[in-house]
Structure 1
Amino acid sequence: MNTPRRSGRRVAKAIGAMTVAAAVGAGAVACAGSANQVPSLGYAIDNVVTTYNANTTEGAATGAAAAFGRVLTGMNYIGPSGTPLTDTDFGSASVVPGDALTVEYRLNPASVYSDGVPVVCDDLVLAWAAGSGRFTWPTENGPVPMFDAATRAGYADIDRVDCEPGAKDATVVFKPGRSFLDWRSLFGATDLMPAHVAAQAAGLPNVVGAIVSGDNDAVGRIADFWNTGWRLVPGELDLTKLPSSGPYRIDSYTEDGGLVLVENERWWGNKPSTSRIVVWPKGSDVQARIDDGDIDVVDVGAGSIAGLDLGDRFDVVDEPSRNVEQLVLANHGTFGAVEARRAFALCLPRQQLYDEFGHPGFEVTGGLGSGVVDSRITAPDTMFYQSAVAAEGGIYTDPDIPGAEAARESIEQPNLTVRIGYLGPDERRAQTVREIAASCAGAGINVVDVASPEFRPSALGAGQADAVLAGTASVSGAGGSSVPTDASFALRSGNGDNFGGFSHQRFDQIVDQLAVDGSLAARMSLLGEAEAILWNEMPTIPLFDQPRTTAYSKGTNAVVPNPTRSGAGWNMDKWILLR
């Protein structure tokens, strides 16, 4: 891209000031030059949008969180630093003294969905029920969850949600001894789905009665809709199922016209600065849309779009993200034996991959983006990182072809074939697979690229791929946060986004303890033990902090890069473009 660039370091220093000034500055600019304001902005992301529900296993792996952060608001949102920030427009939360962690939530009295139905505590009850894992169906192979939730982190620790149906307040009581450290990240943007829509689909007056009473048949009907009822197919939307609780609502979604978000007239907060945003998901011809002037903000994996030319119309920021680029391995089939997984890890050129693809357009001397990542669950910019990664010991940094060959031969697999899948097209990942294939060929390991525009991480469980090349929790596009539970629960037994099916009893115990134990000494010890287990069992292979490219048309105000799962669209209601 032949455009001026600013490094991630320089941007990071400016983010705090930009975030604080965004709302005030955007409003001032609008008043000063509204006659020259562009009425509609195009926003390109590098993931598909196939569902309104970002909380299902399908939805969490897609771009739903990046697209709908200002459509489905919540108690918090993930800011540019990766931490959850309170959304005071939506409500407030306060801890009630007592033996068990108890949080009182109060929703804004003015909060109402775009269809006129109030936002109420029923929405919190539905989010808890879906993520708790407590509602199951019996099968021959044991109970299976009714709700196809991506994660149980935090929600499984809640004992109950006290809510009078239709009320604006709720009390969330956690289980004794399960004071979830990251409780502020719960019930956030895109976590809360409109419970009244699910209740109507299930033929119930509300969801609270069925959930609190444990009526399995009724909860099953709620879950059936929650799992699949919010799927989005371009050209086939039922807008009555898609009410908004944010400054934007969905207006239309077509292949040619993109995902159109328009001002939600019932939004109770500040009006969005630009009344129309068009989200262009992966699969759109981004270059053609840029050339035609249809795209003003771009948030994609660096180098993912082959030949992307932004010309001189855009300011561009390249920076590392909190999303770890990694290979998620199936724990069955080709990789059913741990020796096969180790053989593959030993032939990977991880240092070479970082050198070629891990820091385009920026140089960082420490922390995020500064080198090969040796931990799945501990970020390089934390005090625990060095002790956590000691288990890797440099064994897997550069290829060990004789070691890989010996590991492969130990399981008597003369022709080990590894199918690597990812959401395509993606030029950086295609090149990554080519480099891996060239390196591993010397160890008798044949690597095949099985990427496609329809690829989903569920292909691991279906036996259609042996490895997924993606980010944290197998997310293709924007992902990650500074909340450590996201990455650790993605490898916990039974978690929906544990697509490889990894299961290890001691690791599960560590994850559960880390979720509630804030002791520095305990965390240092536990994180080191967890990473030793992961390097020994090899359910995933971390590569580097995924680099992101954020570009925005010159003259655009208040675009603040957010290298987390929220993406640049975290504050799209503040964007203004003047020409």
Structure 2
Amino acid sequence: MAWNQSFYSYNNLTGHGNAVANTNPLYLMEAQVNYYDQDLNLINNDQFVTCQLVSQDPLTVKYTVNKNAKWSDGVPVDASDLMLSWAAQSGKYNTGELKTDDNGNPIPQPNVVAFDASSTGLALVKDTPTISDGGQSITLKYSTFFADYPIALTMGVPAHVIGMKALGAKDGASAKTAMNTAFQKDDKAALKKVADFYNTGFDFTELPSDKELYLSSGAYLLTDFKKDQYMTFKVNPDYNWGPKPSIQQITYRFIPDAMASVQALQNGEIDMTNPQATVDVLGAVNNLKNQGVDVINTIGSTYEHVDMAENNKGPFDPATYGGDKAKAQQVRAAFIKTIPRQNIVSRLIKPLNPTATTRDSFTLVPGSPGYDEMVQQNGSANWKDADIAGAKDLLAKAGVKTPVTVRFLFAKDNTRRQNEFKLIQQSAQQAGFTLVDASRTDWGAQLPNTKIYDASLFGWQSTNTGVTANCDNYKTKGQNNFYGYSSAALDAACVKLNAATTPEDQLKYLIEIEKALWSDSFGTVIFQFPEIVASNSKKLQNVKMIPLSPGPFWNFWEWTTTS
């Protein structure tokens, strides 16, 4: 099978590692606490971890790991691994801000503990969780109700590996003890070492010589990884704590060019591809139907959007205007008015999906419950399509000298994004913006590094149906808020959203969040992705798609082959 971007981090719970490029391969290797089925029902993988609601007031949840589950080095998977996930994502032990280098990679700071992970709903678990049942169970007590508690805690990287690498433990058991002791005693010296290794110790772009850096807890073992070429996965013979696959080996190839991946499918070099959808790609895969190629053409979970940096002393940063936030907001608003949202949809998306429309919500998918009400109230109507005259007027009112230079980051090897950039560039030029092509092949890893760009064009993919995850993109210092954006009103709405128990209240607070985003000119959204999955039905069967990450990989255990 083929994917368009190479793997670069075994830890996709970090900010810089949180990408589909990493999530798909890891889904093959990591046992899942829960997953979604074809109808987007959340399925608890009780063969691996059971999740028990102990109390709703205070919200108390107990997780118990199957005592037979183990990492591929033979060390048991247990509550220590879940404790590490909580510690990293709760933010409890952080003593300072995370710093990154010019490539967006975390860099250690003297005497500072800073996990590169989002302060999610797990931040509401203020007290260190308790471990029981011989180290198999962990109990979390929330300080207030959290609407998405069923999906809050996930299994991440192995705690014992960090205990050995960062704390010098000699074996798995002593490593877990050292890790848990550091958390329970809030040992800052030890926790700094833990955080620093957690952040970057599992980053690699080819097979490491140290096998402990790519252990498996799931269905497949990583056995080979050639940089920018392919990864090889072989079935884990010991795995019996989740759905078991029948396919013995998977070769996961990296083919950035969509048409090249279609050609590879036609030539029999691959059996499945999920390329970026374009009219040419759709036509090419449809032409292969008479050769036994199955084509899924649907709406996906990803939405295209443009964000702007407010923290790099560029054209959208108040610091450029002596700290004048109002002037910076006017420049951002002017730029948004130049983005030809409707034209992009009409020219690039409607040929794939004739009913396609602009997406007018940062948080809700078109057609989902509450979407119409959201769009009526969130303020998006003011930004429906390009308004060159309005953009010029805003720049004039701001007293900003034109042309305004904007470095624009997007995927260099993505045809659709190249076309989008051209359309935006041509439109923005009419209002006085000069867009500089700052595209890169490693654009995903560069998102935290706003020193190299002023605006970015990419897609956010939903990984779950929870409502609170949206806040990570927009709240002050949220994991995916790379841009320095901060709104007291939005932050307050996120706090309320966390504890909202009814759909009505959840929509109410989502609307508050979006009103802040649109009025502050945070950025804009453009369209919901069309998705194409093409597979060789003569060899590979039961390929299906869901509108959540990991897309067509969600049911790999149901795949079968005829040869």
Whether the TM-score (by the shorter chain) exceeds 0.5 is yes
Q: Is the 8 A contact 2:379 2:519 kept in 1?
A: no
Q: Is the 8 A contact 1:489 1:511 kept in 2?
A: no
- How far residue 235 of structure 1 moved from its aligned partner, in angstroms, is 4.6
- How far residue 53 of structure 1 moved from its aligned partner, in angstroms, is 0.6
- How far residue 132 of structure 1 moved from its aligned partner, in angstroms, is 0.7
- How far residue 361 of structure 1 moved from its aligned partner, in angstroms, is 3.2
Cα deviation code 1:177-235 (max 9, x no counterpart): 2x2111111233xx422111111112243221111211111111111111111112225
Alignment partners' CA distance in 2, 1:225 and 1:170 = 23
Q: Is the 8 A contact 1:460 1:466 kept in 2?
A: no
Secondary structure of 2:315 counterpart: helix
Residue among 197, 216, 227 paired with 1:244: 216
Alignment partners' CA distance in 2, 1:448 and 1:272 = 47
Cα deviation code 1:331-353 (max 9, x no counterpart): 13211111111001111111111
Q: Does 1:133 align with 2:120?
A: no
The one-letter code matched in structure 2 to 1:262 is K
Residue among 151, 161, 169 paired with 1:197: 161
Q: Is the 8 A contact 1:45 1:299 kept in 2?
A: yes
Partner of 2:551: 567
Deviates more, 1:343-352 or 1:157-166: 157-166
Q: Is the 8 A contact 2:2 2:274 kept in 1?
A: yes
Secondary structure of 1:353 counterpart: helix
Cα deviation code 1:339-374 (max 9, x no counterpart): 11100111111111122233453344xxxxx42111
Alignment partners' CA distance in 1, 2:205 and 2:133 = 32
Partner of 1:408: 395
Q: Does 1:154 align with 2:121?
A: yes
Partner of 2:338: 347
RMSD, matched Cα: 2.6
Residue among 278, 281, 300 paired with 1:321: 300
Distance 1:293 1:238, change over 3 A: farther
- How far residue 521 of structure 1 moved from its aligned partner, in angstroms, is 3.9
Alignment partners' CA distance in 2, 1:130 and 1:394 = 39
Secondary structure of 1:381 counterpart: coil
Q: Is the 8 A contact 1:457 1:468 kept in 2?
A: no
Q: Does 1:262 align with 2:234?
A: yes
Partner of 2:347: 356
Distance 1:528 1:496, change over 3 A: closer
Deviates more, 1:233-242 or 1:293-302: 233-242
- How far residue 154 of structure 1 moved from its aligned partner, in angstroms, is 1.6
- How far residue 80 of structure 1 moved from its aligned partner, in angstroms, is 4.4
The count of residues paired between Structure 1 and Structure 2 equals 522
Distance 1:47 1:77, change over 3 A: farther
Q: Is the 8 A contact 1:306 1:426 kept in 2?
A: no
Q: Is the 8 A contact 2:11 2:202 kept in 1?
A: yes
Q: Is the 8 A contact 1:101 1:173 kept in 2?
A: yes
- How far residue 47 of structure 1 moved from its aligned partner, in angstroms, is 3.0
- How far residue 138 of structure 1 moved from its aligned partner, in angstroms, is 4.4
The one-letter code matched in structure 1 to 2:124 is D
Distance 1:517 1:144, change over 3 A: farther
Q: Is the 8 A contact 1:74 1:187 kept in 2?
A: no
Alignment partners' CA distance in 2, 1:409 and 1:318 = 45
Secondary structure of 1:355 counterpart: helix
Q: Is the 8 A contact 1:341 1:538 kept in 2?
A: yes
The one-letter code matched in structure 1 to 2:495 is D
Partner of 1:36: none
Cα deviation code 1:518-551 (max 9, x no counterpart): 2344333322222111111122211111222111
The one-letter code matched in structure 1 to 2:468 is T
Q: Is the 8 A contact 2:265 2:272 kept in 1?
A: no
Partner of 2:148: 182
Alignment partners' CA distance in 1, 2:205 and 2:192 = 24
Give TM-score scaled by structure 2 length. Answer: 0.87
Cα deviation code 1:150-184 (max 9, x no counterpart): x2222212233211496221211111x2x211111
Q: Does 1:530 align with 2:513?
A: yes
Partner of 2:378: 391
Alignment partners' CA distance in 2, 1:329 and 1:432 = 16
Residue among 286, 289, 305 paired with 2:261: 286
Secondary structure of 1:163 counterpart: strand
- Structure 2, unmatched stretches of 5+, are 100-108, 170-174, 318-327
After the TM superposition, which residues 167-566 of structure 1 pair with which residues of structure 2 at under 5 Å, given as runs? 167-175=135-143, 177=144, 179-188=145-154, 191-202=155-166, 203-204=168-169, 205-206=175-176, 207-255=179-227, 258-269=230-241, 271-281=244-254, 283=256, 286-287=261-262, 289-303=264-278, 309-310=284-285, 311-312=288-289, 313=291, 314-332=293-311, 333-336=314-317, 337-364=328-355, 370-389=356-375, 390-392=377-379, 394-411=381-398, 412-456=400-444, 458-459=446-447, 461-472=449-460, 479-555=462-538, 556-566=540-550
Secondary structure of 2:394 counterpart: helix
Secondary structure of 1:500 counterpart: coil
Alignment partners' CA distance in 2, 1:298 and 1:139 = 39
Secondary structure of 1:327 counterpart: strand
Secondary structure of 1:114 counterpart: coil
Give TM-score scaled by structure 1 length. Answer: 0.84
Secondary structure of 2:549 counterpart: coil
